[in-house]
Amino acid sequence: MEKYLIQATIGPVQDFIASARKLRDLWFGSYFLSELSKTIARSFKEQGANLIFPSIASSDDLAKDSSLIVANKIFAELETENSPAYVIEKAKIAWVLHRKEFAAKTLEKIKKIKKIKINQDLFNKQIEDSGEFFGAWVKLTDDYKSSKVKLEKLLAGRKNTREFYAPAWDGTGIPKNSLDGIREAVTGDNQEEIIGLIKKNEKLDTLGLIKRCYPLTRPNKKLFDDLSKVAIQPWLKGVSLNHYDILVKKFISNFIEEPLDQDKINQINPVDYADKFYLENKELIKVKNAYSDYKTLSKIIGIPNKYACIIVGDGDNMGKTLDMIISSEGHQTFTRLLGMFAQDIEKTISDLDGSLIYAGGDDVMAYVPLDSMIECADIVRKKFAETMKKIFDELSLTGKQPTFSIGAAIVHHSMPLDQALNTARKAEQTAKKYVSSKKEKKNALAVIQKKRGGSELVVCDNWEKSQDEKAGIINRFTTMCSLYKNEKLPSTLAYQLRQASISSGDKLKFEYSDKDKRIVPLNAASVSVLRIFDQKEHSEILKNLLLNQESIRKLSDELVIANQISYAQKLSRGDFSNEI
């Protein structure tokens, strides 16, 4: 029997995932692709292939809806008397059938909802026409690495020469999908609003409708519908700590039309009504008693946080590590340990009241409450470092281990999801391109704060400097938040520093005396900054913030962002205040 390397890949990926209005859409886009990829891997396995990507512990890992997350590239060794084309074609058929199964379950759910009216003929034609599948194979020689390189080139060539066909339907006069404007909508102009699910006259194509409605078939999955439900998490934690739940639920009851006794009020989940806490006064006044109840809440409990965070992370220099591995067994070990990292990250993010959107190999995307953003980013990069150490130890690899870079976007809860995602990806690219003054590349955290008014703030730095965590961005943010919490750091300091950077220059240059613990300024800008610090009540403590700083404006921006994070942390501890 001949031995082969075979590979299949499906798509589109990024555009499909990003085509979303709700966080539910976003999560389902990645879940859908992972499940379809898992189906292809399962077909390869059932036909006798030895899976490399993904690497599995048992066949249970490939069961539908298992915890295993599979990337859109499936790679395997195959020893067979049949043509590899037959094996790949059979996997493609399984992929098509599973896609139809998603559609059928969605239709079944829609029929129960009844208020959603669709063009079922167009729905069926679009599901037949959706998705891309590519496959390739090569004979496996004694040189595994060169066989793999040849396979990747073949697959890339296949993608570049793919066929394009006209749609199997006439789209004349049919409005386009509201999410991305690519395909014709299967919902019409007379669509009723279904609160929490679909807007009045919202137009969705087949895949958009599956994204929106299929998650309803899985009621136990922890999902947030929108950024409001993420942003409000710190405030609700503080509410529970101070036992103010009844006040909150009484406010919510104003928006429920049916009469509620005390038992039903107690059963209310405030997260489901997060958007009501962000209504403007004029909107609250329209609802009986809502305005007065909200004013009472504001005085006692304070104002909910209005900002949430989306993080996007990626391993640095992973290609170099993959190139070091010269056997299929090595690649299986690599994939297995990365898969364990992905599964571990989902629990980590859930424990921090966030929700994982995607964790495939070294890629991570999640949304988290602002109070846990710094802790979450730090845990993810440390777990990735632990995983890389295991890989290098098990495979006896030498050289520099891959690091992890993360972009975090702090965005208003009402920001359109596509803009929020673009901001997070911009932050990730900033981290991936970062080069410090000490020539330390990548291995960084970049944070973009995008408020509704004013220009965005961007800060970026390495997690640590020359393996010194005290000099890294995480330690600085943690220190700043602690100082704000203990009221030792005035909120005006950041803006005084910003003015100093304009009047005296931005570059900081200090000399540090370990003997007498003095900071000696070496230029006019540094003198100006020290003068500002000397005027503060806790000046000696605050001066520690100047260590390893090279830019006044960067320090100022970090302080502004840390102040916002600190406010969310105060709310989560039940320390309510009307200051935002």
210 & 93 share domain: yes
41 & 148 share domain: yes
211 & 235 share domain: no
Pair 32, 69: CB distance under 8 Å? no
Domain limit, last residue, from 192, 217, 242: 217
For residue 370, give Cα distances in angstroms to 251, 328, 487. Answer: 24, 42, 20
Residue 336, amino acid: R
What DSSP letter does each residue of 513-556 carry, written as one string?
A: ETTTTEEEE-SHHHHHHHHHHHTSTTHHHHGGGGTT--BHHHHH
246 & 204 share domain: no
Q: Which residue has the tokens 């059979």?
A: 90
Whole domain around residue 206: which residue ranges?
2-217
Pair 155, 168: CB distance under 8 Å? no
pLDDT, tens digit (0-9, with 9 covering 90-100), for 350-366 = 899 998 888 877 889 99
501 & 533 share domain: yes
pLDDT at site 466: 65
pLDDT, tens digit (0-9, with 9 covering 90-100), for 259-304 = 777 788 888 889 888 989 998 888 888 888 888 988 888 888 888 9
425/122 Cα distance (integer angstroms): 34
pLDDT, tens digit (0-9, with 9 covering 90-100), for 431-454 = 999 988 777 889 999 999 999 877
pLDDT, tens digit (0-9, with 9 covering 90-100), for 34-47 = 999 999 999 999 99
Q: Is the pLDDT of residue 473 over 60?
A: yes
Residue 128, amino acid: E
CB proximity list for 368: less than 8 A, separation 6 or greater:
230, 308, 309, 310, 311, 349, 352, 353, 354, 376
Q: In what order do the strands lie in the sheet with 2-11?
A: 50-53, 73-80, 2-11, 132-139
For residue 338, give Cα distances in angstroms to 6, 51, 342, 345, 450. Answer: 21, 15, 6, 11, 32
With CA atoms as reference, report the closest residue to 565 among 494, 481, 479: 481
502 & 547 share domain: yes
Sequence-separated contacts (24+) of 539-543 with Cβ below 8 Å: 541/483, 541/488, 542/483, 542/488, 542/489, 542/493, 543/519
- Give CA torsion, residues 320, 427, 382, 441, to 10 deg: 50
Flag whether 424 is in a domain.
no
Give me Rg for the CA atoms of the chain.
27
125 & 259 share domain: no
* Bigger pLDDT: 111 vs 315: 315
pLDDT at site 4: 94
Q: Which residue has the tokens 């790949």?
A: 88
Sequence-separated contacts (24+) of 343-346 with Cβ below 8 Å: 343/67, 343/68, 343/69, 344/383, 345/380, 345/383, 346/67
Flag whether 314 is in a domain.
no
pLDDT at site 578: 47
What is the count of structural domains for the chain?
A: 3
DSSP-derived letter for residue 314 is E
Flag whether 169 is in a domain.
yes
pLDDT at site 479: 92
Domain limit, last residue, from 178, 198, 217: 217
Mean pLDDT computed over 119-135:
90
SS3 content of the chain, % helix, strand, coil (to 5): 50, 15, 35
109 & 68 share domain: yes
Flag whether 465 is in a domain.
no
Flag whether 104 is in a domain.
yes
552 & 580 share domain: yes
On the 0-12 / 13-18 / 19+ scale of CB atoms within 10 A, 347 is exposed
Provide the CATH number for the domain around residue 179. 3.30.70.2220
For residue 353, give Cα distances in angstroms to 237, 365, 403. Answer: 10, 15, 25
How many CB atoms are located within 10 Å of the residue 22 CB? 21
Q: Please state the length of the chain.
A: 580
pLDDT, tens digit (0-9, with 9 covering 90-100), for 163-202 = 777 888 888 888 888 888 888 999 877 788 887 788 888 8
pLDDT at site 580: 42
482 & 567 share domain: yes
3-state secondary structure of 10: strand
Flag whether 571 is in a domain.
yes
114/390 Cα distance (integer angstroms): 52
420/459 Cα distance (integer angstroms): 17
Domain limit, last residue, from 301, 318, 336: 301
Flag whether 430 is in a domain.
no
143 & 291 share domain: no
With CA atoms as reference, report the closest residue to 457 among 426, 490, 417, 489: 426
Flag whether 458 is in a domain.
no
3-state secondary structure of 260: coil
209 & 233 share domain: no
